[in-house]
Amino acid sequence: MLDLNRLKALHAVHVYGSVGAAADALMVTPSAVSQQISKLERETGARLMERNGRGVRLTDAAGLLAEHAERILALVETAEADFEALRGEVVGRLNVAAFPTATRGIMPKALSVLRERHPDLWIQLIEREPERIVREVARGELDLGVIQDWLSRPMALPDGLSRATLLDDIADVALPAGHPLADAREVELAKLHGERWISSSPGTVCHDWLVFTLRNASLEPVIACMADEYPTQLALVAAGLGCAIVPRLGRDCVPAGVRLVPIVPRQSRRIYAVWRADAARRPAIRALVEALAQASSEQENAWAVS
């Protein structure tokens, strides 16, 4: 009988194209993936990997088996979901990912609530960028993801995914305290012509959105510094090294040398949970979405009174 974990390792190599990438997706070491495939070769009596230059590639037999593995793993997931739904108990394990700001700003409260309500549910949490989260949820490697997009530049989701909006996160422009517009009640981006900007790394949702938004305001972005964490961006603004657009969830502690000014028209991003539609009947998925919604509501209430 074929072992499911070994089939999962083979399928991951088939999907990601290398042992290293498969190991990263499965959150194990490359040697562990190689060992699983070696055992699968002994089980099947077929050669599944062969040398290809400095790396390896799957054989035709492996490609055929990987296609069957995809269907087998999907059936197992469906069976597990049906069984959990029948029992009606919030148990088992969920693999969850969130983008960094949500990992810090929403997940601690949500997971704390979930642990109190459902102590037999095990959550494994990891940080990921939104695009990768969507891919891995669609492939079944993650059970649920917390992602973001900007209302002015929404992200398309593949078929078969469900989502629930958690909150709208308004962004303001962060200016050095000595900036001429630092004490303005609001500011149009077009008035920031010639400014140096602090951005996330190229290829991230936030970097691409910033470039798109500035160009939409007829500003050609001059990126002076790049930092993926908003507290770092705020520290760079406080040092007078540029301006940044920072959402509320990303500014736990604003340095004294920074002023936050509302932007007109308003800029905001939407944060939501995504999961596979056929997993929605799992009580654990429903419980996690409820906990995320509660944590998000409490965060919005805190903003309202601050």
| Predicted confidence (pLDDT) per residue in 186-204, tens digit | 999 999 999 999 999 998 9
Where does CATH 3.40.190.290 sit in the chain?
90-305
Region 259-272: mean pLDDT is 95
At position 55, the amino acid (one-letter code) is: G
CATH 1.10.10.10 for domain 4-83, yes or no, is yes
Neighbours of 136 (CB within 10 A): 19
- Per-residue pLDDT tens over the stretch 104-122: 999 999 999 999 999 999 9
Indicate whether 55 pLDDT > 80.
no
- Per-residue pLDDT tens over the stretch 217-239: 999 999 999 999 999 999 999 99
Q: Say if residues 220 and 189 touch (Cβ distance below 8 Å).
A: no
H or E element that contains 100: helix 100-105
pLDDT of residue 251: 87
Angle between helices 60-87 and 283-305 (to 10 degrees): 70
User: Nearest-CA neighbor of 255 among 241, 234, 230?
Assistant: 234
Angle between helices 107-117 and 283-305 (to 10 degrees): 130
Indicate whether 70 pLDDT > 70.
yes
pLDDT of residue 49: 86
pLDDT of residue 303: 87
pLDDT of residue 85: 63
pLDDT of residue 272: 96
User: Nearest-CA neighbor of 211 among 258, 259, 245?
Assistant: 245
Q: Give me the phi and psi of 101, to 5 degrees please.
A: -65, -40
Q: Give me the phi and psi of 146, to 5 degrees please.
A: -110, 120
pLDDT of residue 86: 62
**CA–CA separation, 49 vs 60, rounded Å?**
9
**CA–CA separation, 195 vs 198, rounded Å?**
10
What is the model's pTM? 0.80
Indicate whether 281 pLDDT > 90.
no
Residue 249 DSSP class: G
* Topology, domain 90-305: D-Maltodextrin-Binding Protein; domain 2 (3.40.190)
Neighbours of 283 (CB within 10 A): 18
Q: Tokens 């301006």 — which residue?
A: 243
- Per-residue pLDDT tens over the stretch 133-151: 999 998 888 999 999 999 8
pLDDT of residue 17: 84
pLDDT of residue 224: 97
Where does CATH 1.10.10.10 sit in the chain?
4-83
Report the chain's mean pLDDT, rounded to a whole number. 91
H or E element that contains 254: none
Indicate whether 98 pLDDT > 80.
yes
Q: How far is CA 234 from CA 198, 211, 249, in A?
A: 9, 18, 13
Q: Which residues pair with 173 in a beta bridge?
A: 245, 261
